Amino acid sequence: MWNRLFLAVGLWSFTTALIGCGQSFSREPDNKPVVLPATVIRTQTQSEYSFSITFYGRIQSVRRSLLSFEVPGQIISLLIDEGETVKVNQLIARLDTSILEAEKQKLIASIKVEQSILLRLENGEREEVIAAAHAMVMRMEAETERANLDRDRVKKLRIQNATTQTEYEEALYEARSLQASLDAAKARFRELESGTRSEDVETQKNRINELDAQVDLVNVRIQKADLAAPFAAHVMKRLVDEGTVVRGGEPVFAIAEFEQLEARFSVPIEQLAEAKTATSVHVGGVNHPVKKSRVIPSVSPRTRTVDIVFHLKQSKNIIEGQACTLTLVETVRTRCIKLPISALVPSLRGLWSCYRLEKEKSTNAFRVIREELTVNHTDGDQVFVEASLPDDSVIVCEGAHKLVPGMLVHPKDAN
C-alpha cells in the first residue's frame, strides 16, 4: 500500500515539473512571412531549335520469289527444306517425267516412219514396179485391141440383123471400159517413169519437221520438270510435299535473297529531302552504313507518306524481317526559349505557363510572377516555348508546384 502511495506522489511531481518547463520556454509568435528557396535558371532567346525524329522501318530482301514449275505434274522429290540456304542454279525439286518420256518415244517412232516414206519418195519406185506397170500397159493394149475387133464384128452382124441389140451393146461398152483401163495404166506408167513430184517430197519433209518440233517441245517440258534456284537465297517456306500434283505456276517454295538486303521506311514528304542524305540506319542496336537510296515516287493515300529504300552493305548480323530505325534531325527557325519541362505550370483552358522571379526593392527576396507561354516542341526532358520574356529572365525550374503567384522566394541557381 505504501509503495503505491509513493509511486502516485512521484508521478504527480514529474508532471508538474514538465508543465512548468513548458511555460518557461514558450515564445511570442513570429509575424515575418516565410520565404521558400526556389531553383531557377536564366533564359536566353534563340533563333531556332532542333529535335530528332525517329522513323521505324523493316529489313527486306532485294529479291523475293515464289518458285513454281512451269509445267504441271507430280512432285517426286524435294531436295531442300525450310531454313536451308540454296546457291544459284541449285536443283531443289523434280517432277515425274515418265509420261513425257513415253510421249517422246512415240514421236521418235513416228519420225522414223515418215523418214522411210521420204526416202522412198526421193529415190522413186523400184525398177520391178516400173516393169510391172509397163507390162500392165501392154496387156491392156492387147485386150483393148481384141475388144475393138469384137465390137466391129458384132456391129456388122447387127447391120445384117444376124445378132441382137444386147450383144452389140455389150461388145461396145466392153471396148470402152478396156480403153479407159488402158489410159489409166499408161498414166500410172508415165508417173513411175517420171518419178515423185517435188511438192510431195517437200510435204513429207514438213511432216518430219513438225514431228521434230514436237520432240523438242517434249524435251523442253522434261527440262522444266527440274526446278532450280534463280539466285542465292534462304528458303523461307515449303508450300507442298512429295506426291502432290501441282499445276503450272503453283508455288512450291518461297525464298528470299540474303546477300543483298534493304531497309524500307515511310516518311512524310516534308522530311524526304533530309532522309535522302542519311548515311546509316539503326538495326539491332548497331548503326549500319547504307550504300545508296531510292525513293518510290508515290504518296500513300492512307498515311500520306512516301517510301524510301536504303541498300545496306552486306552483314551477317542482319536478317530479313528485322525492325530498323532511321533518325533525322529537324531544325525549326523561330524565336524561342528552351526550358526544362519541370518549369511548366498548368494554366487556364489547357494552356501552359511558367513562374518568373522579380526582385523586391525592399528585401533580398524575389516575387513569383506567372508568365503565359506557347509550347512549340518537347522531347520529354526539355521544352521549346514562345513567350514575351526578356533575355536573362529568372525562371523557376524545379518545385514550381510548391509556389503560387505573389509568393516571395530566395532563388538558387540550378547545378
Helix (H) or strand (E) holding 27: none
143 CA to centre of own chain: 88
Of 2.40.50.100, 3.30.428.10, 2.60.40.420, 3.30.930.10, which CATH number belongs to 64-96+225-256?
2.40.50.100
Over the stretch 211-238, which tens digit does the pLDDT of each residue have? 999 999 999 999 999 999 999 999 999 9
Closest CA to 410 of 116, 113, 37: 37
SS3 content of the chain, % helix, strand, coil (to 5): 40, 35, 25
AA letter at 104: K
Q: Which residues are within 8 A (CB) of 193 and not within 5 positions of it... i.e. 6 or more apart?
A: 130
Q: If you classify domain 36-51+333-413 with CATH, what class do you get?
A: mainly beta
Q: Rounded CA gap, 4 and 167, in Å?
A: 186
Q: Which residues of the chain have pLDDT under 70?
A: 1-33, 123-126, 192-196, 414-415
pTM of the predicted model, to two decimals?
0.59
- Which conformational region is residue 349 in: left (phi greater than 0), alpha (psi within -120 to 50 degrees), or beta? left
C-alpha cell of residue 306: 512516301
Q: Which amino acid is at 371?
A: E
Cβ contacts of 154 within 8 Å, gap of 6 or more: 163, 167, 168, 171, 172
Residue 251 has a pLDDT of 94
41: which 3 cell numbers?
535558371
Burial 161-197 (b: 16+ CB within 10 A, else e): eebeeeebeebbebbeebbeebeebbebbeebeeebe
Identify the CATH number of the domain defined by range 53-62+259-330.
2.40.30.170
Long-range contacts of 99-104 (CB under 8 A, 24+ apart): 100/218, 100/221, 100/222, 100/225, 101/222, 103/218, 104/215, 104/218, 104/219, 104/222
Q: Nine-digit cell at 105? A: 518415244
In whole angstroms, give the CA distance from residue 320 to residue 235: 12
Among residues 355, 260, 269, 336, the alpha carbon closest in space to that of 308 is found at 269
Query: What confidence score (pLDDT) does residue 7 get?
Result: 45
Main-chain dihedrals φ then ψ at residue 301, nearest 5 degrees? -70, -20
Which helix (H) or strand (E) is 85 found in, with range? Answer: strand 85-86
Dihedral sign, Cα of residue 154, residue 157, residue 158, residue 162: negative
DSSP string for 191-205:
HHHH---HHHHHHHH
Q: How far is C-alpha 381 from the geometric centre of its chain's CA atoms?
A: 41
